[in-house]
Structure 1
Amino acid sequence: MRILVIDDEVVIRKGLIKLLGMIAFNDLIIEEAKNGEEALQKMKMNKPDLLVTDINMPVLNGLDFIDRVRETYSDIEIVILTGFAEFEYVQRALRNSVTDYLLKPISQQKLEEVISRILLKDPARWISKIGMNDVRKIKETAQNLAKSAIAENKMELEHTFKKWQEYCEKCGFSLHEIKRLMGQVQLFYQSEFYQTLNYYPSSFLSSINQKATTITQLFDLWFKSLLEHMEFISEQKSPKNKRIVEEVLHYISENFQDPNLSIKKIADHCGVTTAYLSTIYRKVMKKPLTQYIIEYRLEQAKERLKEDYKTKINLIAEECGFGDYPYFSKIFKKNIGISPLEYREKVT
């Protein structure tokens, strides 16, 4: 990927180039120009894939420069740099098919998000010239790794990664070649996350490539980073899961008397699927949701039997959500150890 950075301020231009260099995309070539006119001259020699340009510049300002670019090139991605005071110019720039914009001051995170959006619109466009079999293998591997990480399935993650490692070893790729291929894997990996969760994972390729001096070390560092990312995903999801479980507990306490109370009803109330609800409830509470409903109803029935010795036991069972008295009696004895009648006689 070839990027041309255009800004008349040397400090900003050099700082932006440094930030771009940290994104860790393979085969990245970054050039610079101090104004629009110089940029046009450089583009005649080497057409860039992406322009990152300031708006206010001498000789040829950013907006006029973009107009000139679009007269000749329709497929170049363009990102403009702007301050809040210049924000009205963004509208004109957007009319000229500007891809995105960055508000100053520019942070590494914001820059990476913008570049990621560009890359992930069409990941195949940025894949190096490698065989189609490799491309298919890269895409399949990255998608399976991402799906395993999202599902927090460590076993499947490890299985997929080992298959990829074996493939690279069988093909006899060198350390340099594997580093380049891993860059493509990461791009598709990020793409899968964006399509599934609308979330861009941070790049961890740069630090790995710098540290790894052998193929074994490269794969070890990669797998460690994938596990750390999966743990991060789990931590991010946990608060949401706990909130859902708390909502479930509250809903059950308010509706346990309903004999038709079901996991589907609870899931619909919480806005999630029954499968998802069952999974996260078991993960957080360490027991099935159906078991908790039974236990909660039994606790309510025990309290009623202890405090209300006049109401018939079958009516208490109904009022606690047990529509079938023989079932209530059976489940009560199984969990408490004695029948409802024996329990009442014992506690009253």
Structure 2
Amino acid sequence: MNIVIVDDEIVIRRGLRRIIELSEIDITNVREASDGREAYELLLKEPCDLLITDIFMPIMDGLELITAIRQINKTLEIVILSGFGEFHYAQEAIRHGVMDYILKPMNPILVKGVLDAVQHKLVQRKRSISLQSQCYNRCTGYVDKLVEALWQLDMQQIQLGLERIEIEVCELPLNEPEITQVYIELLSWIVTKIEAKGGTYLHLRESINIQLIENEMANKRRFSFAIQGIADVIRLHCNWGQREPIRDAIDYIHTNYANSELTLAELLQLTGLSATYFYELFKAETGHNFKNFLIRLRIEKAKTLLNTSEYKTYEVGERVGYTDYPHFAKIFKSLVGLSPTDYKKHNGGL
């Protein structure tokens, strides 16, 4: 481990160096700096694995150093030295991605505990990078074939490509978070390769809610869901007239809004789209997600009935899909600003 110690007190620096040298962690080099600017220049010349810095120093203090370093190195592990009266500043540093802090005067046992934690994290990171690199090397050919299958919308080859990639990933000793991260990065790689083909796919990433896909993958741990979503978008890019599945869904909602058991699952079955891309396309078409669209439609229909019919307010609720009148009244008032009864009176309903 390559370490840089930053403190304006030489006694602190030397004491910490001694503790580090007596610890059992694997040390490559320990360098010292007396202020933030000197440390910054050291790190520009030769990066390190761990930066241990005091907060209050002349010229450039610890917080300024951390802020500057984070501009050029997002992954550097940082531990701060903090006195008992400096905890507020320690909290501020932690918001900048500091891993831990060491209280002065230093306790060798506690310092060693922090060093052990840093070393463990670095070992895990190197292991993860190594395994991911192996995965990419093993998957390159299959990714290229999968991209071509997506380009051609060859669903049989897409399925074969998915199976081969999942086999290769599963053969590596990755834990669950690492598997999810590998799939997320493979997904980004695939999107980049498709965009590189140009044409209507040049801005494919803009049509894909990567964050939504990542959440779905993290929850379901299935790469195939994400790839199916990409296939959905490509299919719609191939023929934008195929926005019709969404229009069919909208027509279906207008026809069946009074059904209190109307669900998103029915619309997914009707359109054949994945949940992720139904959400994206439906919102692009209507400006709302399915739930909000249905609520607004039901309330508009309720307003019409309150204005033009002799139905009692609870009957109006039932006729637009609400079997629970208090729930209907609450939603109605939140959108209209009046209760159904007051709205009927105010608008001179029958």
Give TM-score, length-normalised by structure 1.
0.38
- If asked which structure has higher relative contact order (CA below 8 Å, sep 6+), I would say 1
